[in-house]
């Protein structure tokens, strides 16, 4: 399957910084950490960002949400439209400790279903997930209806879960899926960097 990495960097980060993914964590920008994890799984990477200037130095193709204000769902739709008829391995730009090995594992399972998604703590990790080409139409319809919750279109596609027992071989889920939204998260991330040598 033709799989493209899609880094979701469209949020405004109002609680922390307009472009929180550009903040340093452990001496490196958050988005650089994410990109280093995505590239081994997907040689081709694009970024969903509504401010292309903020990510210009990455040298990546940028796609803009078809409609702004719809959160990550808008970025996923834009990414899928850009790579049709391929699939996207979508990863949030604010997940500094996402595992390259986990992403490679998800990429290796991409042909199993329309959605390949980790499940942790009883919840789907929709911002670390493979979305196949058949996701585009139901995701677009969800946007048009004014709904933004990604998993609301899952009943229209095939979904393969990656359970916690499988995730454990790649690291601690609470670290891998840690994301930075607030100053407290940033401080916690710095502590994780020091404690775990990340």
Per-residue pLDDT of the chain (198 residues; tens, 9 = 90+): 699 999 999 765 555 567 889 999 999 999 999 999 999 999 899 999 888 888 999 999 999 876 677 789 999 999 999 999 999 999 999 999 999 999 999 999 999 999 999 999 899 999 999 999 999 999 999 999 988 899 999 999 999 999 999 999 999 999 999 999 889 999 999 999 999 888
Domain ranges of the chain: 3-196
Per CATH, the number for 3-196 is 3.90.550.10
Q: In three state form, how does the secondary structure of the chain look?
A: CCEEEEEECCCCCCCCCCCHHHCEECCEEHHHHHHHHHCCCCCCEEEECCCHHHHHHHCCCEECCCCCCCCHHHHHHHHHHHHCCCEEEEEECCCCCCCHHHHHHHHHCCCCCCEEEEEECCEECCCEEEECHHHHHHHHHHHHCCCCCHHHHHHHCCEEEECHHHHHHHCCHHHHCCCCCCHHHHHHHHHHHHHHCC
């Amino acid at each position: 399957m033709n799989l493209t990495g899609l880094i979701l960097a469209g949020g405004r980060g109002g609680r922390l910084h307009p472009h929180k993914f550009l903040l340093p964590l452990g001496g490196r920008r958050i988005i650089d950490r994410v990109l280093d994890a995505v590239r081994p799984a997907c040689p081709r990477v694009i970024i969903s960002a509504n401010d292309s200037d903020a990510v210009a130095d990455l040298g990546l193709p940028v796609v803009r949400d078809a409609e702004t204000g719809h959160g990550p769902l808008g970025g996923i739709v834009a990414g899928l439209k850009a790579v049709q008829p391929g699939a996207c391995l979508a990863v949030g730009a604010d997940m500094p400790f996402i595992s390259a090995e986990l992403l490679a594992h998800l990429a290796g399972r991409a042909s199993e279903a329309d959605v390949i998604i980790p499940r942790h703590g009883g919840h789907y990790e929709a911002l670390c997930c493979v979305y196949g080409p058949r996701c585009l139409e139901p995701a677009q319809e969800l946007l048009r209806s004014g709904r933004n919750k990604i998993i609301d279109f899952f009943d229209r596609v095939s979904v393969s879960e990656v359970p916690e027992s499988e995730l454990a071989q790649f690291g601690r889920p609470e670290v891998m899926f840690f994301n930075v939204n607030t100053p407290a998260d940033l401080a916690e991330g710095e502590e994780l960097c020091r404690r775990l040598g990340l």
